[in-house]
Amino acid sequence: MKTTTHISRRAASLAAVLAAFAVYYSALSTAWAARLDNAIDPSGSWRNAQGSLALMLTGDALSFSYSSVFGPAAHICDGAGVAGLVGNGLYHFVDDQGTLAIQVTEDGVRMEQMAGVLSFCGANWPGERFSRDGFAAAEEFRVITAVSHFYTVMLMPPILRQAYVVQGDVVQTVPTQHGQAGDYVLARYIGTKATTVGLIKTSTLQAVQPAHQQSGILFIRGEYQAIREALPLLTTEQADISDLSTEGGEATAYRDVDGRIRLIELSLYFDTGMIREEFYFSEGSLIFVLRARHQYNAPFYLVQEEADAIGVEAFDAGKTRITEDRFYFQQGKMIRWLDDHRKAMAAESPSFEDNEKELQARASDLLSRFDPSQ
């Protein structure tokens, strides 16, 4: 559990930001004399079995967004801020209750509590280690709005800053990790005169892909549109998928005049929700998957009378939460994944690879159910 209320945590976060800048400017004044070294840039996403860390470096200031669990009771550690350089690869973040040390080396990142108790972690936090095995580099995004402001790196809601980027600018980004920050990314803009780091709203950005991926995505979008427009002319058939879910499901394939499967629609039903996936094919190869998850507020069979008897909420279809993900494939590889916020997910992340393998296996399984010879 958190050790402070949201208001006190926000106040602590703001105080910590000010303290961190004090450390930062102090470090600036002594850096040359002390010959401090921050040659290793740890900017990117770091993950281990307990949590995740986003880092972005500019000058002698290291911005971080962190979330993890620790201890037998799974206490939550959830924070964000700016740490200042104080030693070789060593950064300190100071809040009103304690000091966090972030040590960056060639092997990874180590986080330790140096003094007091960190407000966003609480007592008995053992620290954290992240190795290079769990590292994913920052990705480039282009600004698509006239202006996109930077926000202070802190607990939600962040404070608007005067610094901004304009349409067409390219920023390096890392997904935020601390609570309720999903609408923002940790971003760095390297300008001709200065480099700026802060939080930026995801709605103002669009992923930048290599040229071969851009052409691939344009092709996929064209195929998707052609398949959708041709649906009335395609023949349909169903397959048995009773083994794929607890409450049954449906699978429908759409074939063109040459008998080739262009689309398979899959619906899987469960007690507390459903999954609907659309698999699009070109020349027998998977090119695109649209996945929609429907999360019910309660099991679909829980009527009002039964819910009242046990003191819980009854099933209400109007309270179903729907999230969508989009997956793009080219030559047997997943080249892009957009989450429910249309945010591109890091290709180096474990979840990217997991989804790639899962969807390819599902597509192959479905094709074999309609065409056993495959």
Q: Letter for the amino acid at 303? A: V
How would you list the strands of the sheet with 108-116, edge to edge? Answer: 128-131, 108-116, 98-104, 90-94, 75-87, 61-70, 51-58, 44-47, 135-137
Q: How far apart are CA 97 and CA 16, in angstroms?
A: 9
Q: Letter for the amino acid at 362? A: R
* Per-residue pLDDT tens over the stretch 121-173: 888 899 999 998 888 888 888 898 999 999 999 999 999 999 999 999 999 99
pLDDT average, residue stretch 21-26: 46
* Per-residue pLDDT tens over the stretch 279-330: 999 989 999 999 999 999 888 888 888 888 888 888 888 888 999 999 999 9
Q: What is the pLDDT of residue 94?
A: 93
Q: How far apart are CA 227 and CA 221, in angstroms?
A: 10
Q: How far apart are CA 218 and CA 147, in angstroms?
A: 27
Lowest mean pLDDT among 164-178, 188-202, 240-254: 240-254
Q: What is the pLDDT of residue 240?
A: 85
- As a whole number, the mean pLDDT across the chain is 85
How far is residue 310 from each of residues 119, 219, 248, 307, 314, measured CA to CA in Å?
A: 37, 53, 27, 5, 10
Strand partners for 79: 66
Question: pTM above 0.75?
Answer: no
Rounded to a whole number of angstroms, the distance between the first and last alpha carbons of the chain is 52
Q: Where are the domains of the chain?
A: 1-207, 211-370
